[in-house]
Amino acid sequence: MKDTLIIFDTTLRDGEQSPGASMTQDEKVRIAKALERMKVDVIEAGFAAASNGDFAAVRAVAQCITESVVCSLARANAADITKAAEAIAPAPRKRIHTFIATSPIHMEKKLRMHPDQVVQAAVGAVKLARTFTDDVEFSCEDAGRSEPDFLCRIIEAAIDAGARTINIPDTVGYTLPHMFGELIRSLIERIPNAHKAVFSVHCHNDLGLAVANSLAAALNGARQIECTINGLGERAGNAALEEIVMAIRTRADVFPFDTRIDTTQIVPTSRLVSGITGFPVQPNKAIVGANAFAHESGIHQDGVLKHRQTYEIMRAEDVGWSANRLVLGKHSGRAAFRARLEELGYTFKSDAELAEAFARFKDLADKKHEIFDEDLQALVSETQHAQAHERVQLLELEAMSKTGVRPVARVALLVDGQRCEAQAQGDGPVDAVFAAIENIVKTGAKLLLFSVNNITTGTDAQGEVTVRLAREGRTVNGQGADTDIVIASAKAYVNAVNRLSAASVLRAHPQFESAGP
């Protein structure tokens, strides 16, 4: 019988610390539900003391998650811990995760505390957290650059104070796998009460070693790994959940433990997180990249056709992709469309939602001869997202580009049920389209990012556009997909406008309220 490795997902907390990845409460709840479906053991829902919005989001997650443990991060002080306890209170299974830095540089330069004060703060924090829940985790921030003797001292004290999980973060991604593994092994061996706690690791990817360091730690006794979907996280990100889980599953001959993760949920969850944050997954990303199970060269294709395992170490279906190339086109019907999407892990909430997605699929099939899984996933997340927020809809778009003439665009939108039209010139067709939309919705928002990715290959590929808008301290990402990138851009802009509206920013904006013909 193998040990169980606890998967602690921090997409909603450390993942959200990726610059530009902030999520609304509703989006966090959708991600938390997907994580629960995937059977993640612990969901770090946020940092309750960070803001009222973070508090409300942690609470909303705590109200709807029943199987996974819901956790909030808290500094080692009473105010943060009390807020965390209040936010997670509705969850049937709850954890407070308190932390303080233990490296000489952090203690001296950042906290400006003597090591004795740091130990005292850690003990006080753990004791206070234990008055709210038995499930308390303590992290030694920047453990990767901390002195092992001091780590032993503070961890022993934290366990005595009641911590049941001890997390050893490599906060700045500085360690190397053999060193980090050795650190974990020696801590477990040297700390007399180590057997009373689960040892955990939280690795950052500054040198691209987060997954390798996490696995080295687990091979040396850690039994919890903290990770995020698509490896999102502060700076270069955290260890990617999908890589950790699939390395352990695929190399079961090496790892004396397994996780409880339902791996078929990996790809749908990755797509959901990418759609919500606006961070595209690079095509060659392990497990969840569009090319992760694609074979391009003849010798490889020949090998795979004769015997799949010649070039595949995992089955695409096991992580939520399809093994066979999807053959869906303009002659397909609703039943095949729905069945294919169900195989991909999507369910439709209503017949209306299915009908809308199917209509979009037919439009797309008219324009491109091959529809891939990624096209379908983009199409469905667009439909589901549109239904959640659609206050503004794109009805018509005409953009004109001609050498020597300033591009001009005309758009027609449906704003709260009213048809509105406008036209504008711009430096390019996309600029003109954005200006025309702004002439109607008048958000005054600042465009922070515009990026185009092709979802599949070929000149008839769908372009997936991400637009980031900022207004009154609120930043949102909008996404749109189409074979025509000007239309995809307009959809993305309208999507972002809807998100601003959903975030209440525009409700208070009189010009938006009065937008009309």
> Which residues does the annotation place in the binding site for Mn(2+)?
14, 202, 204, 238
Q: Which lies closer to ligand KIV via its Cβ, residue 139 or residue 443?
A: 139
| Smallest distance from ligand ACO to CB 49, Å | 6
Rounded to the nearest whole angstrom, what is the least distance from the CB of residue 272 to ligand KIV in the complex?
22
Q: Which stretch binds ligand KIV (CB under 6 A): 163-171, 265-273, 290-298, 359-367?
A: 163-171
Let me know: does 138 contact 176? Beta carbons within 8 Å.
no
Which x/- pattern, by CB under 6 A, does the window 10-29 give for ligand KIV?
----x---------------
Are residues 294 and 374 in contact, defined by beta-carbon separation less than 8 angstroms?
Answer: no
Contacted by 100, from ligand ACO, ligand KIV, none: CB < 5 to 8 Å by type = ligand ACO
Interhelix angle 373-389/351-367, nearest 10 degrees: 130
Return the HEC string of 14-58.
CHHHCCCCCCCHHHHHHHHHHHHHCCCCEEEEECHHHCHHHHHHH
Q: Binding to ligand KIV by residue 464, rule CB under 6 A?
A: no
Restricting to residues 188-217, which ones interact with ligand KIV according to CB under 6 A? Answer: 202, 204
Q: Computed from CA positions of residues 11, 16, 22, 28, in that sequence, does the dihedral angle turn out positive or negative?
A: positive
Q: Of these, 165, 171, 224, 384, which contacts ligand KIV (CB under 6 A)?
A: 171
Q: Cβ closer to ligand KIV: 101 or 261?
A: 101
Taking phi over 0 as left and psi of -120 to 50 as alpha, with beta for the rest, 514 belongs to alpha
Output phi, psi for 303, to 5 deg.
Answer: -60, -45
- CB closer to ligand KIV, 202 vs 391: 202
Binding residues: 14, 202, 204, 238
Per-residue CA distances from 453 to 378, 462, 479, 490 (Å): 12, 8, 11, 15
488 in Cβ contact with 465 (< 8 Å): yes
13 vs 391, which CB is nearer to ligand ACO? 13
Give the residues lining the site for ligand ACO (CB under 6 A).
14, 17, 47, 49-50, 75-77, 99-100, 110-111, 141, 171, 234
Q: To the nearest whole angstrom, how small is the minimum distance from the Cβ of residue 28 to ligand ACO? A: 15
Q: Which of 55, 99, 279, 493 binds ligand KIV (CB under 6 A)?
A: 99
Q: What's the min distance (Å) between Cβ of 73 and ligand KIV?
A: 6
Q: Which is nearer to ligand ACO, 31 or 49 (CB)?
A: 49
Closer residue to ligand ACO, CB minimum distance, 79 or 352: 79
Least gap, CB of 358 to ligand ACO (angstroms)? 42
Burial of 305 (0-12, 13-18, 19+ CB in 10 A): exposed
Q: What does the alpha-carbon distance between residue 412 and residue 398 come to, in Å, rounded to a whole number?
A: 9
Q: Which has the closest alpha carbon to 36: 71, 65, 62, 72?
A: 65
CB 379 within 8 A of CB 364: yes
Cβ(101)–Cβ(76) below 8 Å: no
Distances (CA, A) of 389 to 54, 356, 453, 497: 21, 15, 23, 10
Instruction: Provide the minimum distance between the beta carbon of 217 and ligand KIV in the complex, in angstroms, as a whole number.
Output: 14
Q: Are 340 and 376 in contact (CB under 8 A)?
A: yes
The option from ligand KIV, ligand ACO, none interacting with 213 (CB < 5 to 8 A, set by class) reads none
How far does CA 454 lie from the centroid of its chain? 20
DSSP string, 480-506: EEESSHHHHHHHHHHHHHHHHHHTTTT
Q: Does 44 bind ligand KIV (CB under 6 A)?
A: no
Q: Which is nearer to ligand ACO, 51 or 504 (CB)?
A: 51
Q: Smallest gap, in angstroms, from Cβ of residue 141 to ligand KIV?
A: 4
User: C-beta of 98: minimal distance to ligand ACO in Å?
Assistant: 7
* CB nearer to ligand ACO: pick between 65 and 101: 101
Among all residues, whose Cβ is closest to ligand KIV? 169
Which of 103, 139, 230, 466 binds ligand KIV (CB under 6 A)? It is: 139
End-to-end Cα, the chain, rounded Å: 69
Pick the stretch among 27-35, 125-133, 167-175, 240-248 that binds ligand KIV (CB under 6 A): 167-175
Pairing of strands 6-9, 224-227: parallel
Among ligand KIV, ligand ACO, none, partner that 111 touches (CB below 5 to 8 angstroms by kind) = ligand ACO
Question: 167 contacts which partner out of ligand KIV, ligand ACO, none, CB within 5 to 8 A by kind?
Answer: ligand KIV
The single residue among 68, 103, 165, 167 that binds ligand KIV, judged by CB under 6 A, is 167
Which tokens is 433 given?
């389209």
With binding defined as CB under 6 A, does residue 475 bind ligand KIV?
no
Query: Interacting stretch for ligand KIV, rule CB under 6 A, among 166-174, 206-214, 444-452, 477-485?
Result: 166-174
Q: Are the C-beta atoms of 338 and 354 separated by less than 8 Å?
A: yes
Q: Which residues contact ligand KIV by CB under 6 A?
A: 14, 73, 99, 139, 141, 167, 169, 171, 202, 204
